[in-house]
Amino acid sequence: MVVPFHVAEMLKRVKRRLAQDSDTARFAPRHGDLAVLRPRRRTSEETIADYHDRLGLSDAASDALADAETRAGASRYAANIENMIGTVKLPVGVIGPLRVNGLHAAGDYPVPLATTEAALVASYGRGALAANRAGGITTAVLYEGVLRTPAFVLDDLLSAGQFVDWVVENVAALQAAAEATTRYGRLVSVEPVIDTNIVFLLCRYTTGDAGGQNMVTIATDALCRHIAAHCPVRLRHWYVEGNFSGDKKASTLGTLTGRGRKVSASVVLPERVVESALRTSIDEMLAYGRVANLGALLSGQLGAQAHYANGLAALYIATGQDAACVAESAVGFTRMERHDGGLFASVTLPNILVGTVGGGTGLPTQSACLELMGLKGTGHAAALAEIAAALCLCGELSIVAAMAAGHFAVAHERLARQR
């Protein structure tokens, strides 16, 4: 048997470390009292100072984590975090304005991106330049619905069937119970999935202009409690989420049916734009695209795309979205082909989870970024989702061009290492 190089190298490191320190007691459990910080929601200048004292922070570290402005406005963060000790500052760049010709987003939008990765903003900005020279990006929200999937454990398969029959007969009452918890959420479908004695209910909601994660959790909890109180079939257990929904996970279900908003974005770049803005040719981009699609297929990628996560993470952080949702949002499909003498490029992302109210959207800098885009407050979530997809298309255009022309490493050398 051949031991892979990385495994053999790791074993050598472990052996060297044990040879230097033969005291294997370091791996044994250590018992004793340890004062752990207890979660508390109250956030103020005084609570921040108390935490800093208890943690033994130096004056320099304390000032870096919580400057005077953060301390004075600490209460505004109370709804978003527990045990607050400060804020983390990230550089925010901007691309565009990016021209979007969409069903909901129709205009020229500066797009803020919060990142520590040099070359990222430049790359997406180059894609935006190319798209703008072609007249902008066409976008549309195709589908909407945030999933929560409660699970119910019954005695046997027959009981599971009887349970599903009861749910179907009482779906209106379940809808009323769920929607009584929210002003904006609507339960639009309930789909049962049986696995012997366990039933999952795929509960799909529209969530207005909020991302809606907490909204659908609270609504589904009310739905489950109504079932537990009224269903004549005996339930052994129930759980508000059965890990079926794809929440913060890339999943086949999300890829096929979507979670959040499903959005498509497309553009047709004339040959001259590809050559002038992207510094390559259509044929070179398509040749690389064929290899990249094969790589996606052979590696088992969910979808086929280059780097949606880069743009989405930067946009989500800048605008106060739930950054962990990038795990599912960054699933989708990129297409490139010749079309009317130009390069047709499109992206379809089935799981964009964004909002313009609630969550972190009301925090100072995140609110300012949404205001910069003209998308602060109600009525703008669908537009933000379309801009997110358009942003991803910009990133795909730029990185495919860079790979095709052999510029990828050179750009990172120049913009990141040698800056």
Quote the tokens at residue 85. 């000790």
Report the C-alpha gap between 361 and 207 in whole angstroms.
15
Of 312, 293, 309, 289, nearest in space to 301 by CA: 293
Alpha helices, H only, 37-170: 45-55, 59-65, 68-72, 120-133, 157-169
Q: Which residues contact 100 (CB under 8 A, 6 or more apart)?
A: 106, 107, 108, 109, 136, 137, 139, 386, 387, 390
Residue 150 backbone phi and psi in degrees, to 5 = -65, 155
Of 80, 41, 131, 48, nearest in space to 366 by CA: 80
Active-site annotation holds for 237: no
Report the C-alpha gap between 397 and 100 in whole angstroms.
15
Which of 63, 117, 271, 284 does the annotation list as catalytic? 117
Active-site annotation holds for 165: no
Report the C-alpha gap between 412 and 416 in whole angstroms.
5
Residue environment code for 71-94, b if the CB has 16+ CB neighbours within 10 A, otherwise e: beebeebeeeeeebbbbeeeebbb
User: What separation in angstroms does the CA of 280 have from each of 106, 122, 124, 400, 407?
Assistant: 29, 17, 16, 10, 10
Report the C-alpha gap between 116 and 128 in whole angstroms.
20
Quote the tokens at residue 157. 């398969």
Angle formed by the axes of helices 364-373 and 308-319, nearest 10°: 110
Active-site annotation holds for 221: no
Residue 15: other Cβ atoms inside 10 A? 10
Q: How does DSSP assign 376-410, residue by residue? A: -STT-HHHHHHHHHHHHHHHHHHHHHHHHHT-HHH
* Angle, CA of 90, 358 and 261, to the nearest 5°: 90
Report the C-alpha gap between 102 and 264 in whole angstroms.
10
Which of 209, 322, 328, 396 does the annotation list as catalytic? 322
Report the C-alpha gap between 4 and 21 in whole angstroms.
26
The residues that are catalytic are: 117, 322, 412
